[in-house]
Homo-oligomer: A and B are copies of this chain.
Amino acid sequence: MKFVIQRDNLVQSVGDVMKAVTSRTTIPILTGIKITANDEGVTLTGSDSDISIESFIPKEEEGNEIVEVFETGGIVLQAKFFSEIVKKLPMDTVEIEVQNHLQTVIRSGKAEFNLNGLDPEEYPHLPQIEEGNAFKVPTDLLKTMVRQTVFAVSTSETRPILTGVNWKVENGELSCIATDSHRLAMRKAPLENDNGNEYNIVIPGKSLTELSKILDDNSEPVEIVITDNQVLFKAKHLLFFSRLLEGNYPDTSRLIPNESKTELVLATKEFLQAIDRASLLAREGRNNVVKLSTVENGVIEISSNTPEIGKVIEQVQSQSNEGEELKISFSAKYMMDALKALEGTEIHIDFTGAMRPFVIKPLHDDSILQLILPVRTY
- Which has the most chain B C-beta neighbours within 10 Å: A277, A310, A312, A315? A310
Is A110 at the interface (CB under 8 A from chain B)? yes
Chain B residues with CB under 8 A of A110: 314-316
A112 at the interface (CB under 8 A from B): yes
Can you list 24 A-B contacts (CB < 8 A)? Answer: A81-B280, A81-B281, A81-B309, A84-B280, A85-B280, A88-B280, A90-B273, A90-B274, A90-B277, A110-B314, A110-B315, A111-B277, A112-B312, A112-B313, A112-B314, A113-B277, A113-B281, A113-B311, A113-B312, A114-B310, A114-B311, A114-B312, A115-B309, A116-B309
| Chain B residue at smallest Cβ distance from A276 | B88
Copies of this protein in the complex: 2
Bound-state CA distance A114–B304 (Å) is: 10
How many of A's residues come within 8 Å of B, CB to CB?
30
* A111-B312 Cα distance, complex, nearest whole Å: 7
Say yes or no: is A61 at the interface (Cβ < 8 Å to chain B).
Answer: no
Provide the bound-state CA to CA distance between A116 and B311, in Å. 9
Query: In the bound complex, what is the Cα–Cα distance between A315 and B112 (angstroms)?
Result: 9
List B contacts of A314 (CB < 8 A).
110-112
Q: Interface readout for A85-125 with B: 1 if CB under 8 Å, 0 if not?
A: 10011100000000000001000001111111000000000
> A308 on the interface (CB 8 Å rule)?
yes
Known: A110-B314, A314-B111, A316-B110. A116 touches B276 (CB 8 A): no
Q: Which residues of chain B are near A90, meaning CB under 8 Å?
A: 273-274, 277
Query: Which residues on B sit within 8 Å (CB–CB) of A84?
Result: 280
> A271-289, CB under 8 A of B: which get 1 and which 0?
0011011001100000000
Complex: how many Å from CA A277 to CA B312?
54
Is residue A78 contacting chain B, with contact meaning CB distance below 8 A?
A: yes
Contacts of A277 on B, CB cut-off 8 Å? 85, 88-90, 111, 113
CB-defined contacts of A78 to chain B, threshold 8 Å: 309
Contacts of A88 in B (CB 8 A): 273, 276-277, 280
Q: Digit string of A283-298 for contact with B (CB within 8 Å is 1, else 0)? A: 0000000000000000
**Chain B residue with minimal CB distance to A88?**
B277
Distance of A277 Cα from B85 Cα, bound (Å): 7
- Residues of chain B within 8 A of A114, CB atoms compared: 310-312
State how many angstroms separate the Cβ of A66 from the closest Cβ of chain B. 23
B residues less than 8 Å from A85 (CB atoms): 277, 280
Contact residues in B for A315 (Cβ distance below 8 Å)? 110
Shortest Cβ distance from residue A193 to the other chain B in the assembled complex, whole angstroms: 45
Q: How far is the CB of A377 from chain B (nearest CB, A)?
A: 19
What residue in chain B is nearest A274 (Cβ atoms)?
A: B111
Write the nearest CB–CB distance from A271 to chain B, whole angstroms: 12
Which partner residue on chain B sits nearest A103 by CB separation? B310
Q: 6 tightest CB-CB pairs across the interface, nearest first?
A: A115-B310, A111-B314, A110-B315, A113-B312, A114-B310, A114-B311
Q: A50-81 vs B: 1/0 string, CB under 8 Å?
A: 00000000000000000000000000001001
Closest to A303 in B: B112
Give the CA-CA distance A287 to B273 in the complex, in Å: 49
> Max chain B CB contacts within 10 Å: which of A104, A273, A277?
A277
